[in-house]
Amino acid sequence: MPAEDLTIDTRLKRLFEQEFGDRVSFAEPLSKYTSLRVGGPADALLRPQSSEQFQRIVRLCLEESVPLTVLGGGFNTLVRDGGIRGVVIRTHGLRTLELQEDRIVAEAGVTHSTLAKFSLEHGLSGLEFAVGIPGTIGGWLKMNAGIPSREMKDVVAAIEYLKPHDGSEVRKLREDLRFRYRELQAPESALLLRAEFLIEMDDPSAIRARQQELLAARKSSQPVDQLSCGSVFTNPPGDHAGRLIEAAGLKGAVHGGAQISELHANFIVNRGQAHASDVLALIARAREAVDQQFQIELVPEVHVMGEDHAPKKA
Ligand SMILES: Cc1cc2nc3c(=O)[nH]c(=O)nc-3n(C[C@H](O)[C@H](O)[C@H](O)COP(=O)(O)OP(=O)(O)OC[C@H]3O[C@@H](n4cnc5c(N)ncnc54)[C@H](O)[C@@H]3O)c2cc1C
């Protein structure tokens, strides 16, 4: 394939290098940036350090008709072995975190651990439920991350985001947002820059106790020390995906380097050398077995991105 047919041709490569210097890399393996540690390369990986840079990248991609994908912590993402065409934005450089009156204001790339530490240091209560949900603020909101008793929708006060079709910045209050189970439904396709969360003041030792209790419960029921993407499927109404997969006899099933966890059947773990294709094969097997035995269609929670095969070079 001639260079000009690739999504990032030589001219565009130079343009990105001129504008973003060492914040851009090409053919960057995404396995380094996802918690499953599988997946092929991004044509270009960009790491903005500010929301202005984020906006500039979005506008450049629109002008140049280059596809754009956003990656937060990669804790709920499965990148296929052929990688992702176009530009992938990794949000980790957007890490401003502030306390403003009754709310925490956090940029999209702030991580769960930074936020947990900040809450503890300042005696801020409200987000303890999310202490063990690995990821970034952008991923949390996009996924409406949570536990059975509480989700992001219960604590978010407002979000700021870029519209994907023109890169303009918008702020929306909680009453204008629409969430459902593990999904921000509206605004659809929002490129999240920051979020505000309602909090209350509390004794740091009480906050720590609540955080520790939740972390301990997680440790005993999930393979937190192994490489995974968390729950692979959403729970069907009135049931649990893990229970169904286990009842279908697939707990511990292996394909290549991937395995359905022996601790929790809704987790697939990378035993070291897995490819995305191994994980995808187990996902297909679990869906087929649960459908055949219980007539229930499992819906993936994990976001599967990219292509099975890399484009052939000339
Ligand atoms: C061990 C383990 C336990 C887990 N437990 C839970 C749990 O209890 N509850 C739960 O809900 N989840 C859980 N998860 C899943 C995961 O932690 C959450 O889905 C989390 O919200 C992912 O955040 P992230 O930043 O890693 O998102 P990513 O995986 O990077 O991205 C997820 C999606 O959000 C999009 N996205 C990310 N940032 C932005 C942005 N700034 N703008 C627009 N789109 C964006 C991505 O494009 C992708 O579609 C668990 C995962 C693991 C590995």
**Which residues face 71 on adjacent strands?**
90
> pLDDT at position 6, please?
59
Per-residue pLDDT band at 310 (split at 50, 70, 90): confident
**Which residues face 140 on adjacent strands?**
none
What is the CB neighbour count within 10 angstroms for residue 97? 17
Q: Which of 37, 80, 90, 182 is catalytic?
A: 182
The Cα 126–Cα 200 span in angstroms is 7
3-state secondary structure of 299: coil
- Per the model's pLDDT, the better-predicted residue between 49 and 1 turns out to be 49
**Could you tell me how many helices (H) and strands (E) the chain has, helices first?**
7, 20
Q: Above 50 in pLDDT, residue 111?
A: yes
Which tens digit of pLDDT belongs to each residue from 17-40? 999 999 999 999 999 999 999 999
Tell me if 4 sits within 8 A of 12, measured CB to CB.
no
Does residue 305's CB lie within 6 angstroms of at least one atom of ligand 1?
Answer: no
Residue whose Cα lies nearest atom 49 of ligand 1: it is 303
Does residue 73's CB lie within 6 angstroms of at least one atom of ligand 1?
Answer: yes
Which tens digit of pLDDT belongs to each residue from 231-271? 999 999 999 999 999 999 999 999 999 999 999 999 999 99
Calculate mean pLDDT across residues 130-142. 97
The Cα 282–Cα 102 span in angstroms is 45
Calculate mean pLDDT across residues 151-173. 97
Calculate mean pLDDT across residues 46-54. 97
Mutate to test the pocket of ligand 1, among 77, 90, 133 (most ligand atoms within 8 A of CB): 133
Give the angle subtended at the CA of 126 by the CAs of 123 and 132, to the nearest 5°: 95
Q: Which of 51, 228, 231, 261 is catalytic?
A: 231
The Cα 158–Cα 10 span in angstroms is 40
- What is the helix (H) or strand (E) element at residue 141, kind and residue range? helix 137-143
**pTM, whole model, 2 decimals?**
0.96
Q: Which atom of ligand 1 is nearest to the CA of 142?
A: 34
Q: Above 90 in pLDDT, residue 55?
A: yes
**What is the overall mean pLDDT for the chain?**
95
Does residue 266's CB lie within 6 angstroms of at least one atom of ligand 1?
Answer: no
> pLDDT at position 313, please?
63
The answer to whether 231 is a known catalytic residue is: yes
Which tens digit of pLDDT belongs to each residue from 75-98? 999 999 999 999 999 999 999 999
Q: Above 60 in pLDDT, residue 4?
A: no
3-state secondary structure of 113: helix
The Cα 92–Cα 313 span in angstroms is 31
The Cα 169–Cα 15 span in angstroms is 24
Does residue 270's CB lie within 6 angstroms of at least one atom of ligand 1?
Answer: no
> pLDDT at position 7, please?
80
The single-letter DSSP state of residue 272 is S
Give the angle subtended at the CA of 47 by the CAs of 91 and 72, to the nearest 5°: 25
- Whether the CA torsion 38, 44, 48, 54 is positive or negative: it is negative
The candidate with the shortest Cα–Cα distance to 58, out of 167, 173, 184, is 167
Q: What share of the chain is helix, strand, coil (3-state, %, to 5)?
A: 35, 30, 35
3-state secondary structure of 24: strand
Task: Provide CB contacts within 8 A for 305, sequence distance 6+.
Answer: 69, 77, 78, 79, 80, 84
Calculate mean pLDDT across residues 101-116. 96
Does residue 222's CB lie within 6 angstroms of at least one atom of ligand 1?
Answer: yes
Per-residue pLDDT band at 154 (split at 50, 70, 90): very high
Does residue 134's CB lie within 6 angstroms of at least one atom of ligand 1?
Answer: yes
The Cα 216–Cα 214 span in angstroms is 5
Tell me if 70 sits within 8 A of 28, measured CB to CB.
no
Sheet holding 84-90, edge to edge: 24-29, 41-46, 84-90, 68-71
Domains recognised in the chain with CATH numbers: 3-93 (3.30.43.10), 97-220 (3.30.465.10), 235-298 (3.90.78.10)
> pLDDT at position 311, please?
78
